[in-house]
Amino acid sequence: MHELTAVSRILEIVLHEAETAGATSVSVVSLVNGEWSTFDSDCIESYFRILAQGTPAGNARLAVETIPARYRCEDCGNVYAPSDGVFACPACPASKATLISGREFYIDSIEVEFADTDCEESPGRK
Amino acid sequence: MIRLRSSLQIPIVKKVLAANDLLAEELRSKFEQAGLFVVNLMGSPGAGKTSLLERTVDRLAGRCRVGVIEGDISTSLDADRIARHGAPVVQINTGGLCHLDAAMIHGALDGLDVSSLDILVIENVGNLVCPAQFDLGEARKVAVCSLPEGDDKVLKYPEIFSAVSAVVLNKLDLAGHLNFNITEFSRNLREMNANAVLTEVSCVTGTGVDRWVEWLLHTAAEEKSS
């Protein structure tokens, strides 16, 4: 629901980092999105295409890594992903669990490019 | 001449909501310094969040000083209700936004003297999705759910029910009219969030409200001594 605001913020961070590095363009933006971050990856990609146009990140590929929601059973220590609305630990009968991953939402890294530079060929390479 | 094109990978590892989280941490420090226990109260529209707060304010009268921040898209109806029970209250109107964020709480504090309070409850906008993602600087997140919503809500909204320290199950007085399986609801919650304390209440009859208030006071005392 708040993907538009989130993408504006992502773009702000990405362009700032690229500019600080002295880069001319951004080729890849790596985003980590937890399954239960409440942010939809497809929606983020759509907004990113639109908002990045005309910026140094206009041709950037948005690589989204989804982190699945995982729980740890407080009884037996088993770590598992819930499936189809079943949150009970599959390894023990009387389970009680806590969420240990799946709420992440952060920019992991970006790949940037620098302006073409002309260099004299070294004599050794002739 | 040769033409070189260079590229570089820059690690960032920065939360997209970092600005909110930073402000929320500032708020948390401020609350801790003031000895104020802050609860972020979330739940569906109509779950009974405001009704629970009215009961809570009444029960805490003379025992501890409680203030309220009300979050709604529009109107001051909820703040007016709380004010009638004698607690200091500030209404935030989000103007369409479906959750509160740290900046809104920061602004609302202009209308509250935090040094004169022991407990502050922030009633979030009625919504079971987005409020879970925005840190308000609270010490605890609590969800209110009610019987007419159905006993499958824990399974359908795992983001919020996995994040809370307590769940208040309201409208117990309607149990005889609805097919709500409390045992099933309780089991689903425990399986998903072992640490969430479930309290069954009726804000109409008052059943269970004392147990909720005791949890609030006990957790506030525990937080202050930690």
pLDDT of residue A1: 61
- How far apart are alpha carbons B29 and B144 in whole angstroms? 26
- For B164-213, the pLDDT digits (tens) are 999 999 999 999 999 999 999 999 999 999 999 999 999 999 999 999 99
Residue B76: is its pLDDT beyond 70?
A: yes
- Complex-level ipTM beyond the 0.90 threshold: no
Count CA atoms within 13 Å of residue B218 on its CB side.
Answer: 9
Residue B122: is its pLDDT beyond 50?
A: yes
DSSP 8-state secondary structure symbol assigned to residue A54: T
pLDDT of residue A125: 41
Which region among A1-10, A72-81, B88-97 has the lowest average model confidence (pLDDT)? Answer: A1-10
- CB within 8 A of A37, min separation 6: which ones? A102, A103, A104, A105, B133
* Alpha carbon of A107: minimum distance to chain B alpha carbons (Å): 5
Element holding A13 (H helix, E strand): helix A3-20
Best of B7, B10, B16, B154 to disrupt the A interface (most A CBs within 10 Å) is B16
pLDDT band at B109 (very low <50, low <70, confident <90, very high): very high
Q: Measured between alpha carbons, how far apart are the two ends of chain B, in Å?
A: 68
Residue A121: is its pLDDT beyond 70?
A: no
Average pLDDT over residues B97-121: 95
Residues in chain A closer than 8 A to B94 (CB atoms): none
Count CA atoms within 13 Å of residue A7 on its CB side.
Answer: 22
Of A38, A95, A114, the CB nearest to B6: A114
Instruction: Order across the sheet with B7-15: list the strands.
Output: A61-67, A25-34, A105-113, B7-15
Contact across the interface for A85 and B155, Cβ inside 8 Å = yes
Residue-by-residue DSSP string for B141-168: EEEEEEGGG-TTHHHH-HHHHHH-SEEE
Residue B208, Cβ neighbours under 10 Å: how many? 18
- For B167-180, the pLDDT digits (tens) are 999 999 999 999 99
DSSP 8-state secondary structure symbol assigned to residue B30: H
pLDDT band at A2 (very low <50, low <70, confident <90, very high): confident
pLDDT of residue A84: 82
Residue B221: is its pLDDT beyond 70?
A: yes
- How far apart are alpha carbons A108 and B10 in whole angstroms? 9
At residue B19, the 3 state secondary structure works out as helix
* Alpha carbon of A106: minimum distance to chain B alpha carbons (Å): 4
pLDDT band at A119 (very low <50, low <70, confident <90, very high): low
**Paired strand residues for B91:** B70
Residue B132: is its pLDDT beyond 50?
A: yes
Residue A126: is its pLDDT beyond 70?
A: no
pLDDT of residue B177: 97
> A85 with B161: CB under 8 angstroms?
no
- How far apart are alpha carbons B98 and B44 in whole angstroms? 11
pLDDT band at B75 (very low <50, low <70, confident <90, very high): very high
Residue A123: is its pLDDT beyond 70?
A: no
> B144 with B125: CB under 8 angstroms?
no
Residue A101: is its pLDDT beyond 90?
A: yes
Residue A124: is its pLDDT beyond 60?
A: no
Residue A122: is its pLDDT beyond 60?
A: no
| Block residue for tokens 């302006």 | A115
Residues in chain B closer than 8 A to A103 (CB atoms): 133, 159, 163
pLDDT band at B73 (very low <50, low <70, confident <90, very high): very high
Residue A64, Cβ neighbours under 10 Å: how many? 16
Per-residue CA distances from A36 to A41, A70, A97, B191 (Å): 11, 10, 16, 17
> B55 with B170: CB under 8 angstroms?
no
